[in-house]
Chain A
Amino acid sequence: MTIDTNAGGPQHPEPSLRRDEAAAGDARSAPTGTGSRFTRLLGLALIIGGAAVAWLAFVATPPDVVQGESVRLLYVHVPSVSVAYMACMLTTVASAVWLRRRTEWWDLVASSSAEVGAVFTAVTLLSGMVWGQATWGTPWEWDARLTSTLFLFLLLLGYLGLRGATEDRTARGRRSAIVGLLLVPNVIVVNQSVNWWRSLHQDATLFRTDGDFRIEGLQLFTWVFATVVAIGFFVWLLVHRFRVGWLADRAEDRAIDEALAVRRAEGGTGGAP
């Protein structure tokens, strides 16, 4: 997925991440899943990284002066929303490129990123509801940040639903790409909602216009490290989801070819009218 093997080309790109591996692949058995050496190594690193994040979050870091122990939810909630933003941005970029190039590769990047983004947005909402119950005494308020995040989640679900409801691949790509373009504007609304409207949700902790960081030391390190691990996890999921999408397209092509072959055979045996 890191190589656009078909830029500007026909609709059946090779999904291979590594041409050298593909060239050597003939001598090895065919894969039985979407994993590869790259994803296995990355997965191993992420398991170690995830364990380190858990240790830092639960053992090494101190409770917050204001929020107490509940600050430990920050290390899952904020990295989740960071990845959700990133996924939406990638979907929008890939959608825009698809509208220009119309290649399967960009369509798969956009749709894969949207699905992974929906999962991380769901995690953001759920972990946020738990954090809200712990600090505000309520899991949900119809305030600007929470409502706009919910709208982003629904937009992602709509994007995925639209793809599922459209059989023709070109129409599916065009319709979903148009919806995909709406994601980044929505992310901007979510991100700025605490500045544009009065909100129960706190405003920015790190990237503040006044330059006053509200987190430091080991807490800041844990937050950044957790975000790096979450981004790595996003890449791992994206590669696997891309391959699942590519396999689904090939399986669909194969089913159509087989159906056509059966139809031709029926026509051949039936004789001329």
Chain B
Amino acid sequence: MTMWGYVALGWAITAVVLVSYVAALLWRGRRLIEQVPEGERRWL
């Protein structure tokens, strides 16, 4: 693998891990908020 290949791989792994975590976090929030009454959601 070329040096540019390693650079691209390192950046790609970073992006995939972080984007996956963001997606999971937002999904968990959307799933949980349905279980909480609207009046208690206070970060409007």
Chain A residues within 8 Å of B, Cβ to Cβ: 14-18, 21-22, 24-25, 28, 30-36, 54, 57-58, 68-70, 72-73, 76-77, 80, 119, 122-123, 126-127, 130-131, 133-134, 233, 237, 240-241, 243-244, 247-248, 250-251, 254-255
Task: Establish whether residues A134 and B29, one from each chain, have CB atoms under 8 Å apart when the complex forms.
Answer: no
How many Å from the CB of A240 to the closest CB on chain B? 5
Using C-beta atoms within 8 Å of the partner chain, give the interface range for chain B.
20 to 34
Task: Establish whether residues B43 and A251, one from each chain, have CB atoms under 8 Å apart when the complex forms.
Answer: no
Q: Could you say which of B6, B30, B38, B44 has the most chain A C-beta atoms within 10 Å of its C-beta?
A: B44
Contacts of A28 in B (CB 8 A): 44
8 A Cβ contacts from B4-44 to A: 4, 6-7, 9-11, 13-14, 17-18, 21-22, 25-26, 28-30, 32-33, 35-44
Task: Establish whether residues B14 and A80, one from each chain, have CB atoms under 8 Å apart when the complex forms.
Answer: yes
Task: Establish whether residues A123 and B32, one from each chain, have CB atoms under 8 Å apart when the complex forms.
Answer: no
Contacts of B29 in A (CB 8 A): 33-35, 240, 243-244, 247
How many Å from the CB of A95 to the closest CB on chain B? 21
Residue of B nearest to A71 (CB): B7
Q: Which of B17, B21, B30, B33 interacts with A237 by CB under 8 Å?
A: B21
Q: Could you say which of A30, A131, A233, A248 has the most chain B C-beta atoms within 10 Å of its C-beta?
A: A30
Tell me whether chain B's interface is mostly helix, strand or loop, or mixed: helix
Chain B residues within 8 Å of A, Cβ to Cβ: 3-4, 6-7, 9-11, 13-14, 17-18, 21-22, 25-26, 28-30, 32-33, 35-44
Q: Could you say which of B6, B22, B26 has the most chain A C-beta atoms within 10 Å of its C-beta?
A: B6
Q: Could you say which of B7, B22, B28, B37 has the most chain A C-beta atoms within 10 Å of its C-beta?
A: B7
Contacts of A57 in B (CB 8 A): 11
Task: Establish whether residues B14 and A15, one from each chain, have CB atoms under 8 Å apart when the complex forms.
Answer: no
Contact (A73, B38) CB under 8 Å given A21-B44, A31-B43, A123-B18: no
- Bound-state CA distance A28–B26 (Å) is 21
Task: Establish whether residues A131 and B33, one from each chain, have CB atoms under 8 Å apart when the complex forms.
Answer: no
Contacts of A72 in B (CB 8 A): 7, 11
Residue of A nearest to B37 (CB): A254
Task: Establish whether residues B17 and A126, one from each chain, have CB atoms under 8 Å apart when the complex forms.
Answer: yes
* CB<8 Å pairs between A and B, sample of 7: A31-B41, A31-B44, A34-B26, A76-B11, A119-B18, A130-B9, A240-B26
- Bound-state CA distance A34–B3 (Å) is 40
Task: Establish whether residues B44 and A250, one from each chain, have CB atoms under 8 Å apart when the complex forms.
Answer: no
Q: Which of A21, A70, A80 interacts with B7 by CB under 8 Å?
A: A70
Residue of B nearest to A24 (CB): B44
- Bound-state CA distance A237–B38 (Å) is 23
Task: Establish whether residues A251 and B36, one from each chain, have CB atoms under 8 Å apart when the complex forms.
Answer: yes
Contacts of B13 in A (CB 8 A): 123, 126-127, 130
Contacts of A22 in B (CB 8 A): 42-44
How many Å from the CB of B13 to the closest CB on chain A? 5
Task: Establish whether residues B17 and A241, one from each chain, have CB atoms under 8 Å apart when the complex forms.
Answer: no
